[in-house]
Amino acid sequence: MIIDETRSGQTTGTPEPQDPRFAALPCRPGKVIAVHLSYASRADQRGRRPAAPSYFLKPSSSVAPSQGTVERPAGTELLAFEGEVALVIGRPARHVTEEEAWSYVGWVTAANDLGLYDLRANDKGSNTRSKGRDGYTPVGPELVDARLVDPAALRVRTWVNDELVQDDTTAGLIFSLPQIVADLAQHLTLETGDVILTGTPSGSSVLAPGDVVEVEVDAPAAEGAPTSGRLVTTVVQGEGGFDPELGSLPAVDDTQRAEAWGSREAAGLPAEDTSSTDAREHEVATRPALDPDLRERLLQVPVAGLSQQLRQRGLDNVTIDGVRPLHPGAKLVGLARTLRFVPNREDLFRSHGGGYNAQKRAFDAVGEGEVIVIEARGETGSGTLGDILAIRAHANGAAGIVTDGGVRDHDAVAAVGIPVYSAGAHPAVLGRRHVPWDHDLTIACGGTTVQPGDILVGDADGVVVIPPSLAEEVVDAALAKEAEDAWVADRVAEGHSVDGLFPMNAEWRARYDAWREQS
């Protein structure tokens, strides 16, 4: 292998003998960076297409020779291959444009980004253990000079036991190779010898001991059709297991099986209903619902009366303080579905604020007769919802929305007609103050604790939270007290003094009991 000093900064000539793992590379890479999802064919297979590239790191100790073996650890089942185009950086790159980025790539070769899906869920996207194991990044066997090829016309092919299973070109990338290099270089310095694994197309699947997987990268349209040659790896069964005292153990479910094999069908799993509407309707239908008779009785009782009865039973911290209704004349009754925001931190908003985040999932999932309750820490410096989400909740049949933060598009939200309680209006978007974090968990809203399934009742006085186990007792007691208070109000209107009447002494109590028996 001849190294060109104009690309690598190294002296022209044959390199000194080195670790056989890195024999196909100019040197041991300082870092190996992999793209999560980059080919349109793979994104379509997964059913999700990223708006921007995202990455993870693999240790250089995972690099393996261009011909060798890889272990599938004992007790695991989902070792998957991913044939990829590997870029080898030829000279340091930092803050380079997309137009000039390719000039910093020294060579192109083949790579197999092997991964153990049994550990993938526990890695939570870092892929440290699932893809960082020794031998899980075979590279080579030959380097192709990047100057000789068009970065949009490289082909990657993978064979398993001589059967072609992956065949795609870099024209099918969602993000071009120069874009990936330039994007990485705006965050960190790409150093000579660093390797970038640029993602895999559709066709990735599971390997078993004895399988032989081969990967080749070439440029068929370039002069001389340069090629990396075949990268060959044989799977062997590992003998050692994992120590349960040291960390989490391998575990698989149908989701990981489907993703490792490429589809539910390939994994031998029954077909899944792909209709999100049907799936949502099924999930909503199986949730506990508020008894219609109980709901009707709750509609008849003012919040003040319910609050009084809860206090008499030792519950004095059940009012959501600081919120006011957009429709004071409307009554709110429903079961809580919860959503939690945490204080804005820019890096966390980048990872949790975009896309189909917790806020959007909560509003999509709310069902008929349910109330979205939002923990916003009493922070009113931004909105926590706007008219689009209010419309979504209303279309789902939600009973209302309660937030101890602000409402954006105040008049438009009010026009939707769904009962909404908030701490006020604010024109700023969510990200000014909040990160949507998670949903359907115990939260704090307006100074009180709210759990999914709690009963919320609201009117012009505010909102009260009722534990479901106390609801029947509390509402019946409150109705009885309302009837009593109405009788007392009539007596006061007739001119009677409140002394001895409110609250009633023994004489008035006897008169009231007699009236009840006659009614």
pLDDT(248) > 80: no
pLDDT at residue 267, as a whole number? 82
For residue 173, give the DSSP letter: B
d(CA 116, CA 119): 6
> What band does 284 get if pLDDT is binned at 50, 70 and 90?
low
pLDDT at residue 331 in the model: 95
**Minimum mean pLDDT range among 154-158, 183-187, 253-257:** 253-257
Task: Answer yes or no: do 216 and 72 share one domain.
Answer: yes
**Are residues 312 and 461 located together in one domain of the fold?**
yes
For range 146-167, the mean pLDDT: 96
Domain contains 446:
yes
The answer to which of 127-136, 277-286, 371-380 has the lowest mean pLDDT is 277-286
Rounded average pLDDT over 191-215: 95
Percent of the chain with pLDDT over 90: 69
Is 115 a member of any domain?
yes
Distance (Å, whole) CA 451 – CA 375: 11
Confidence bin at 281 (pLDDT 50/70/90): low
Q: Show the tokens assigned to 209.
A: 């001991």
By three-state DSSP, how is residue 14 classified? Answer: coil
Q: What is the mean pLDDT of residues 279-290?
A: 62
- Residue 131 lies inside a defined structural domain of this protein: yes
Residue 332 near residue 400, CB atoms below 8 Å: yes
Q: What is the pLDDT of residue 274?
A: 46
Q: Which of 30-34, 268-272, 446-450 has the lowest mean pLDDT?
A: 268-272
Instruction: Quick: pLDDT tens for 483-503.
Output: 888 888 888 998 999 888 888
Least confident of 4-18, 186-200, 358-372: 4-18
pLDDT at residue 371, as a whole number = 97
Asked if residue 171 belongs to a domain, the reply is: yes
5 belongs to a structural domain: no
Q: What domain range includes position 219?
A: 19-239+249-261
Same domain, 327 and 447: yes
Tell the residue number behind the tokens 């790409």, with chain if given.
Answer: 190
**What are the φ and ψ backbone dihedral angles of 517, each rounded to 5 degrees?**
-65, -30
C-alpha distances in Å from residue 241, one per residue of 81, 234, 235, 477: 21, 20, 16, 61
Q: What is the mean pLDDT of the chain?
A: 89
CATH number (domain holding residue 255): 3.90.850.10
More confident residue, 115 or 507: 115
Q: State mean pLDDT over 307-317.
A: 94
Q: Examine residue 141 and say whether the peptide bond preceding it is cis (omega within 30 degrees of 0).
A: yes
Identify whether residues 464 and 379 lie together within a single domain.
yes
CATH code of residue 325: 3.50.30.40
Q: How many CB atoms sit inside 10 A of residue 504's CB?
A: 17
CB burial readout 292-314, b (16+ within 10 A) else e? eebbebbeebbbebbbebbeeee
Q: pLDDT at position 13, please?
A: 38
Amino acid, single-letter form, for residue 498: V
Judgement on whether residues 257 and 308 belong to the same structural domain of the protein: no
Answer whether residue 10 is part of any domain: no
485, HSE (Cβ side, Cα atoms, 13 Å): 11
pTM for this predicted structure: 0.54
* Helical (H) or strand (E) element with 351: helix 346-352
Does residue 233 sit in the same domain as residue 358?
A: no
Same domain, 187 and 321: no
Tell me: pLDDT of 5 over 70. Answer: no
Side-chain-side CA neighbours of 451 within 13 Å: the count stands at 6
* Whether residue 334 is found in the same domain as residue 257: no
Query: Do residues 350 and 219 share a domain?
Result: no
Are 92 and 144 in the same domain? yes
Q: Of the segments 72-81, 102-111, 430-439, 507-516, which one has the largest average pLDDT value? A: 102-111
In the three-class reduction of DSSP (H, G, I as helix; E, B as strand; rest coil), residue 500 is classed as coil
Number of domains in the chain: 2
pLDDT at 111 over 50: yes
Q: Which of 384, 388, 462, 377 is nearest to 425 (CA)?
A: 384
Does the residue 316 lie in any domain? yes
369 plus 422 within the same structural domain: yes
Is the residue at 506 inside a domain? no
Q: Are residues 325 and 372 in the same domain?
A: yes
Q: What is the pLDDT of residue 272?
A: 60
Q: Per-residue pLDDT for 465 more than 80?
A: yes
Average pLDDT over residues 286-296: 85
Placement of tokens 């769904």 in the chain: 418
What pLDDT does 283 receive? Answer: 52
Matching residue, tokens 């040291």: 246
**pLDDT exceeds cutoff 80 at 1:** no
6/301: higher pLDDT: 301
Q: Taking residues 2-19, what's their average pLDDT?
A: 47
pLDDT band at 419; cut points 50, 70, 90? very high
Q: How many CB atoms lie within 10 A of CB 369?
A: 18
